[in-house]
A = this chain, B = another copy of it.
């Protein structure tokens, strides 16, 4: 039985970790921290957990956390990089759901997150927690940077094409649409219901934090320079990301596309490549850890369209974090993650 700590349990990735871990036979939540809600029972904020959890939010304490086997940081960006080292020093493995350990490029980090990175050595050792490309490294990682939700959907959609050299890596377009829970649980005028309901818009067109993360990973896959146009949109749904991906095919590559995907994801427990002519909707993965992918070759065979969906709080955050935990501790990778999409 793994002893698990959660730092920052009041957000949506926090409650999703708790929900998923409550179905995990080998994980035991030891402590949940929150500075703002200290002393409150977790179920007061999330009544859905009543009867399954009897924990009080506590201030983060190195003593308590160091008794854990693994600590999840479900905190805003910048928190994990301050606290991870002291945990690692005490033999605790860390999975950060924020951006602190995703990008190696310190210049990009500073540009997008506004501060210098305060744990640069740890960052070097940290492993990007996308099992489909980094499974072996994750096994022994002390610190895992859990990928962003957009990043997971887009990287899984482009990876087979880039790794097999079927497309021009400078022709990538990711037209991505996300449910509102991706913006977190916070007081913000732009995400109140009356601003989002029965409405739709693009945002972040001047540049988005996930862009450099994605480019860095895709460049690692292809080895060549990557040019990616990335347009996020905000959907009036709670959960779910759908990324519509476009790329120009190299000559005589069209017939290789489907095989490239099927081979790349052959043994992947959580990626499902749909048959010809089928395309996934977001609800098919609602609450589940799957990424589902549909493929379409243009009539002139010059380009490929990939539709990639996942639940931003599961495969895009807490589910993938638990998948990483399972890998790190030698458990069955699917443990606790076998629930199916909630339809409708």
Contact = CB atoms under 8 A, between A and B. Distances in A.
Contacts of A343: 15, 19, 46, 48
Contact of A307 (B19, B181, B202, B281): B202
A284 B48 contact: yes
Nearest to A287: B342
Contacts of A185: 189, 192, 194-195
A205 interface: yes
A194 B191 contact: yes
A66 interface: no
Given A229-B305, A286-B342, A305-B205, A180 B200 contact: no
B194 A197 contact: no
A337 to B, nearest CB: 11
A4 interface: no
Given A200-B235, A201-B280, A340 B187 contact: no
Nearest to A281: B201
A200 B244 CA distance: 12
A193 to B, nearest CB: 4
A51 to B, nearest CB: 6
A288 B51 CA distance: 13
Given A19-B340, A283-B198, A307-B202, A237 B238 contact: no
A267 interface: no
Interface centre among A198, A242, A305, A339 (most CB of B within 10 A): A198
A279 interface: yes
A193 B179 CA distance: 10
A279 B237 contact: no
Contact of A231 (B46, B292, B305, B344): B305
A328 to B, nearest CB: 24
A196 interface: yes
A343 B175 CA distance: 26
B47 A284 contact: yes
Given A23-B340, A187-B188, 12 more contacts: A12-B194, A175-B244, A180-B194, A183-B194, A188-B192, A192-B192, A193-B197, A193-B238, A198-B286, A198-B344, A200-B242, A227-B300
13 contacts: A19-B343, A48-B284, A48-B343, A50-B274, A181-B344, A185-B192, A187-B189, A193-B193, A196-B197, A198-B238, A202-B242, A229-B298, A287-B287
